[in-house]
Structure 1
């Protein structure tokens, strides 16, 4: 009691001390994490049209999409990545495109929406909803037998049924998609109305297309000279880049990094391989004793069960056991054998007879959630009823057309034609190959519940039930640790990016143009941690080791390139051949000297002269496989008959040409046709480029790579 009284007396002091401790704890956490007490952690994953996008809002939309699409099963990382990208693009469209449409007063009335439902046109949003994505065909129950098109009355009835059901909210995203599609159509119509090809423009285009020139030419191709004799100097690179760096190809939209990777391969030693072999020898003894092969494989194998217990023909088995298998007793165990990066032992679990191919039809009832026992039970009961009807009336084909939810095969009476093993999912395949001709079997797969009708089978042949236990051939923990220590030592001994250049006994790769969104860095896969480190580091910094599936790597930041014009070092890879060809051109022209004509030039080049006949400027390409040479054509059109050009530096080499004839049409040209064609071309360009132009104008900054 005295102790309690003392605590009561000191309670005020105690509360103060506890409060101070909590403050110190929180401050310590804040300072250790590098976060600002006042600013808080940056939760902005990007900006769209000046609007900050908070990661919480974005993640909420992503999770809602995952829940709708995958439910309780959850999504794989690849699926999550795909959904994140889709949600991000949706957010851009809402803030850029839809804002533009609303600012222009473009909207969709209730009557227009109803018209879309009543008149479903090919290519429209609703048309896609009532078409089988696998076949591109209209879903049978919505197809008008008379016209072969969608029956709008049936579509309207289906929508009304949906709106009157407990799932009426499912209509909202469809309605929204239709509205956006109609608004976009109005917007494109508005833009296209403003596209006009003038008579002057049409006349110029028509002249270019219909004009023709014929000229003789001499050509010395760049490829005929050895690149090694024209190695560019730093001054050559610099002069060429300074002359061309304003070109769009040297513009970088995003900042990037260049790195050096010291790679240490995660490779098993001979000792590791021998230990795997010895382990399988021990497993082999137990495998031979065990009578439950399925359970033994499930417990002892590294790989997936579906690929390790198979019924195979003699030509399908591993060649190492092909000769001994037919005469081996049931229960015989073989191996270990090496197949690529796997070591296996095989057991002959049984012998049987089975067809090589099966012909079957099916009726599928889809199940959204395989764990929904009520839905599965309902589907099985319904198929059992259909089975009874089909057995009595022999009308399986008609039932498949009416009830199957595999609409591709359903419209063919459920017919799947002939198939061999490996073509169908495992439960379906097992039922089809183990049953007999005429059997009707109900099975469940990841697609739903099937009623399978085996309509034919090839002649039965000997088959072997082979069970396998596998081991992945990979380095042991001891070996992996040793490789990691070697990489760590390298990291300690090489503290600058420049020091990587003097390494002889370790593979060093140069990797350029790494973006913040990059997933891989050279051979390093799933390297997001490495990418984030690279963007946080300074130029010259060297990392601790990073691990991937095949390598451990030490990375050094060798270059940082901000968004905007590339640096010379970055551009070298793009311009190297161009600089070499420029040096070659100078040499070719110098050697040409004062050659006065095409034949003299050909002699100087060590080639023969040729003729390009009736080449149009609009065509842009030269005959004889010479490709696009606009400088040559432009020069030819500016010459008079009989005139010889100066040397022309083209894409393929150095040309000298002599104009033979030039035919430029005069008088009235068919401008109406040209206007129609050019208007269509302009419309196509606008349709494909307007959204990107709006995005660029609005400004989109994507920082998601900092978080994922």
Structure 2
């Protein structure tokens, strides 16, 4: 026993040492490797970038994105992946602009005081959304109603709408006012002298008549050695026009797609599944439970839909079903559907009601009442109103509903809002009759409710829809996945990828100029996983199969474009024809030499002498010639009235011209002073936008969002 104990005592230190080393190994592995740069030495994950050295916090960025997405959804916009990418770019641009503009505001001492904010909200020109919400029946903005509603909203600390109002809406109004001040300061620096306005007007009414010869660039063959465009020619051109050829960092891929979309057999299988439960659906006493049990894509709506709003496939057939009768399966988009008629009745398309809520839930600064106390208070209010008390006054004094208490308790609802209301409230409003006055109970408490008006009665239908998406079977998924895996396994480099595409007669697709933060790829949809692979890959790498919606994608990275000026290969499609035309112009000019007349030019080039008699100084176009600004400028040069011009390299040809005369046309009653004022206004209106653009371009922006997305 003593020997065994001795071994245990000595071995314990070894065990502790092994455990300690293992833990250290895990820690170091996480620190050095991390999760896409989130390790100890993988960089600071609390930021998504910086603007002029000021960090943009990850949490703030994500919070702003969520707030903007919530706003879009509240306004009825679908929040799909394309919208999410739009929102992310919108929010990032806001952070960049806010940072560069805040520096300017600070330098200039620009602020928005609390008094100014009150003026924005409640002054003569309130925000349009507030004006619409708080305009009374006389068409006047009700300042007191707006103040009351906003004050009440600010008290609700736990209300998401209150948080959005304080953290998004008000800062946006203040930022807008600061932009106005900044733009005003810049705008007031613009000035146009009177003489300049008069000179501009005088120039704009000039019209010239010219004779000319045009030698099209197409008369010189593209195969001519002198007009070949080399990479060095493109590099030289790009360097001379760098601003036009700046690019963001991006990557491009070639890829093949293996479809995992549902087959005809998959579709038939879903149709048969619904056919098999049709009789059971018809006899089900509880349609809501049946839909849940059978995994319906469409939840049960326990309400009626008026005839004009029942806009579904086969609506005419569904409307004539008897109660309990089932129609289908039929196709509705990508789903097969069974429709069961639950009931029919007449229903108003819209109602106007007013109510006073006595809450049993309590709220901000309001204690919850017991059920009996709330019921007694509601009954007391009902008695007071029957005795002649003013409904609006009692609503303002006692109602727990902040959305209506200052509006006499009134609401207008359409039948489409039925499902958004408390069931008892909705049924009393829509199923009752005009003039009904009663106390009803909901989950919120007790309501004294009056039905003031009901309009546009129509037949209405309560229908249960059992809906199944046409989805791919396991066999379909496995077939597509297997084909993609086999292709990827045989194509471990770009050369093998290209060879196997040809051998298997697959369709090779291209996705170009994909940015590091992109979510969507053209033609593919939501593809963030594929973009993440691209961000880490090298040219020639081939991906493992990546599931993108109903496809498996195998891609090879073909190009990495670094931020800066385009390469010759990238710029060639944009500039090759421009450089070639310049070289063709040199060939044509060399052939022309120094001609003495237009007739000599026409003879030397096998062209004709033509006339343009309506060349306007203020137009960039010449009738029958198109956009040729150099020709327009030459038409108004005095020396070209005495002799023919030197050859002019235009957009589509080399021109030689002679001006016959220059005349003035009617100015249409233009007033130089009015023109001057209008031009200054236009320049001032653009000044703010141009300044922000210039500051944003000049800012040192580091975008590191792709490491955390």
Contact 1:362/1:400 (8 A) holds in 2: no
Structure 1 residue 345: Cα displacement: 2.4
1:275 aligns with 2:297: no
Question: 2 CA distance for matches of 1:175 and 1:266?
Answer: 48
Residues 436/697 of structure 1: CA separation in 2 closer, same or farther (3 Å cut)? same
> Which residue does the alignment assign to 1:334?
327
Contact 2:117/2:174 (8 A) holds in 1: no
Structure 1 residue 353: Cα displacement: 3.6
Residues 276/671 of structure 1: CA separation in 2 closer, same or farther (3 Å cut)? closer
Residues 321/188 of structure 1: CA separation in 2 closer, same or farther (3 Å cut)? closer
Residues 302/161 of structure 1: CA separation in 2 closer, same or farther (3 Å cut)? closer
Q: Deviations over 1:395-433 (max 9, x none)?
A: 9899999999779x97998567xx6x6587654997566
Contact 1:45/1:703 (8 A) holds in 2: yes
Q: Deviations over 1:316-344 (max 9, x none)?
A: 57666856973x55433333223442222
Residues 12/545 of structure 1: CA separation in 2 closer, same or farther (3 Å cut)? closer
> Which residue does the alignment assign to 1:49?
52
Question: 1 CA distance for matches of 2:213 and 2:355?
Answer: 69
> Which residue does the alignment assign to 1:288?
282
Contact 1:363/1:405 (8 A) holds in 2: no
> Which residue does the alignment assign to 2:487?
490
Structure 1 residue 88: Cα displacement: 4.6
Residues 540/587 of structure 1: CA separation in 2 closer, same or farther (3 Å cut)? same
1:299 aligns with 2:297: no
> Which residue does the alignment assign to 1:702?
703
Contact 1:214/1:615 (8 A) holds in 2: no
Residues 150-189 of structure 1: matches in 2 within 5 Å?
184-189=179-184
Instruction: Identify unmatched segments of 5+ residues in structure 1.
Output: none
Question: 2 CA distance for matches of 1:384 and 1:597?
Answer: 104
> What secondary structure sits across from 1:279 in the alignment?
helix
Residues 260/216 of structure 1: CA separation in 2 closer, same or farther (3 Å cut)? same
Residues 371/157 of structure 1: CA separation in 2 closer, same or farther (3 Å cut)? closer
Residues 241-252 of structure 1: matches in 2 within 5 Å?
241-242=234-235, 244-245=237-238, 246-247=240-241, 250-252=244-246
Residues 296/515 of structure 1: CA separation in 2 closer, same or farther (3 Å cut)? same
Moved more, 4-13 or 202-211: 4-13
Structure 1 residue 476: Cα displacement: 0.8
Contact 1:646/1:656 (8 A) holds in 2: yes
Structure 1 residue 480: Cα displacement: 1.0
Residues 45-194 of structure 1: matches in 2 within 5 Å?
45-53=48-56, 57-59=57-59, 62-63=62-63, 88=92, 91-93=95-97, 95-104=99-108, 106-108=109-111, 113=113, 115-116=115-116, 120=119, 124=120, 131=127, 133=129, 136-137=131-132, 139-140=134-135, 148=140, 184-194=179-189
Q: Deviations over 1:515-548 (max 9, x none)?
A: 1121112222221121121121111111111112
Contact 1:276/1:473 (8 A) holds in 2: yes
> What secondary structure sits across from 1:701 in the alignment?
strand
Question: 2 CA distance for matches of 1:160 and 1:335?
Answer: 53
Structure 1 residue 98: Cα displacement: 2.0
Q: What is the TM-score when the length of structure 2 is the normalising length?
A: 0.72
Residues 130/189 of structure 1: CA separation in 2 closer, same or farther (3 Å cut)? closer
Q: Deviations over 1:635-683 (max 9, x none)?
A: 2222644866677665577777653432479xxx987556544433432
> Which residue does the alignment assign to 1:455?
453
Q: Deviations over 1:217-251 (max 9, x none)?
A: 788999xx99xx97999944758745642435642
Question: 1 CA distance for matches of 2:174 and 2:14?
Answer: 66
Question: 1 CA distance for matches of 2:228 and 2:274?
Answer: 63
Residues 427/645 of structure 1: CA separation in 2 closer, same or farther (3 Å cut)? farther
Residues 662/183 of structure 1: CA separation in 2 closer, same or farther (3 Å cut)? same
Question: 1 CA distance for matches of 2:128 and 2:630?
Answer: 51
CA RMSD, 1 decimal: 6.0
Q: Deviations over 1:251-293 (max 9, x none)?
A: 2342111111211222222322232222222222322332222
Residues 273/646 of structure 1: CA separation in 2 closer, same or farther (3 Å cut)? farther
Instruction: Identify unmatched segments of 5+ residues in structure 2.
Output: none
Contact 1:241/1:568 (8 A) holds in 2: yes
Contact 2:64/2:91 (8 A) holds in 1: no
Residues 550/176 of structure 1: CA separation in 2 closer, same or farther (3 Å cut)? closer
Question: 2 CA distance for matches of 1:387 and 1:219?
Answer: 91
Structure 1 residue 613: Cα displacement: 2.7
Residues 448-527 of structure 1: matches in 2 within 5 Å?
453=451, 455-458=453-456, 460-461=458-459, 464-501=461-498, 503=501, 505-527=505-527
Question: 1 CA distance for matches of 2:656 and 2:598?
Answer: 10
Residues 323/82 of structure 1: CA separation in 2 closer, same or farther (3 Å cut)? closer
**Equivalent of 1:261 in 248, 252, 255:** 255
> Which residue does the alignment assign to 1:20?
21
> Which residue does the alignment assign to 2:543?
543
Residues 21/689 of structure 1: CA separation in 2 closer, same or farther (3 Å cut)? same
Residues 465/20 of structure 1: CA separation in 2 closer, same or farther (3 Å cut)? closer
Question: 2 CA distance for matches of 1:680 and 1:520?
Answer: 40
Question: 1 CA distance for matches of 2:285 and 2:636?
Answer: 87
Question: 2 CA distance for matches of 1:330 and 1:377?
Answer: 43
